[in-house]
A and B are shown apart, each in its own frame.
Chain A
Amino acid sequence: MTVFTCILLGFLVVCAVAASLSKSLLNTILIFMSYSLVMSVIWIILESPDLAITEAAVGAGVTTVLFVVTLKKIHAIIKENDQKDQKETDGKEK
Chain B
Amino acid sequence: MRGNMSRKVPQEQYEKTFSFKFKRWLDGTKDPFLDTVEMKPQKPFQETEEAAARRAGDRERIAERVYDLEHNRLIRFFKRFYKIMSALFCIFLVVMLLEAVSWLPTVGEPDRPVNNEVSARYIENGLQETGAVNIVTGMILTYRAFDTFGETNVLFIAACCVMVLLMVDEAALKRQESTNDRRYEPKNDTILQTVAFILCPVIFIFGIYVILNGHLSPGGGFSGGAIIGAGLILYLSAFGFRKTQRFFNEKVYTVAKVTSLLMYGLIGTYFYITGANGMENHIPLGIPGHILSSGIILPINICVGIEVACTMYAFYALFRRGGI
Contacts and interface: CB of A to CB of B under 8 A. Distances in A.
A53 B210 contact: yes
B136 interface: yes
A79 to B, nearest CB: 12
B223 A54 contact: yes
A10 interface: no
A33 to B, nearest CB: 13
Contacts of A66: 315-316, 319
B227 A57 contact: yes
A4 B129 CA distance: 39
B230 A50 contact: no
B319 A53 contact: no
Interface residues of B, number: 19
Q: Is chain A's binding surface mostly helix, strand, loop or mixed? A: helix
B28 interface: no
B90 to A, nearest CB: 10
Interface string A22-34: 0000000000000
Given A49-B218, A50-B218, A65-B233, A58 B226 contact: yes
B226 A54 contact: yes
A9 interface: no
Number of contact residues on A: which range applies?
A: 10 to 19
Interface string B226-260: 11011001000100000000000000000000000
Contacts of A62: 226, 229-230, 233, 312, 315-316
Interface string B299-324: 00000000000001001100110000
Nearest to B134: A50
A48 B220 CA distance: 13
B131 interface: no
A61 B234 CA distance: 10
Contacts of A61: 226, 230, 233
Nearest to A20: B90
A58 B223 CA distance: 8
B315 A57 contact: no
A5 interface: no
Contact of A53 (B223, B312, B315, B316): B223
Interface string A42-85: 00000011100110011001100110011001000000000000
Contacts of B218: 48-50, 53
B119 to A, nearest CB: 15
Contact of B230 (A48, A49, A57, A70): A57
Interface string B202-229: 0000000010000000111011001101
A57 B223 contact: yes
Contacts of B137: 50
A65 to B, nearest CB: 6
Given A57-B226, A62-B226, A50 B319 contact: no
B220 A65 contact: no
A69 B320 contact: yes
Interface string B51-64: 00000000000000
Contact of A65 (B210, B219, B223, B316): B316
A54 B210 CA distance: 11
Interface in B249-281: none
A47 B206 CA distance: 20
A69 B319 contact: yes
Contacts of A53: 210, 218-219, 223, 226-227
B315 A54 contact: no
22 contacts: A49-B218, A49-B219, A50-B136, A50-B137, A50-B218, A50-B220, A53-B210, A53-B226, A54-B222, A57-B223, A57-B226, A57-B227, A57-B230, A58-B226, A61-B226, A61-B233, A62-B226, A62-B230, A62-B312, A65-B316, A66-B319, A69-B316
- Across chains A and B, which 4 residue pairs bring their CB atoms closest together, nearest first? A57-B226, A49-B218, A50-B218, A61-B230
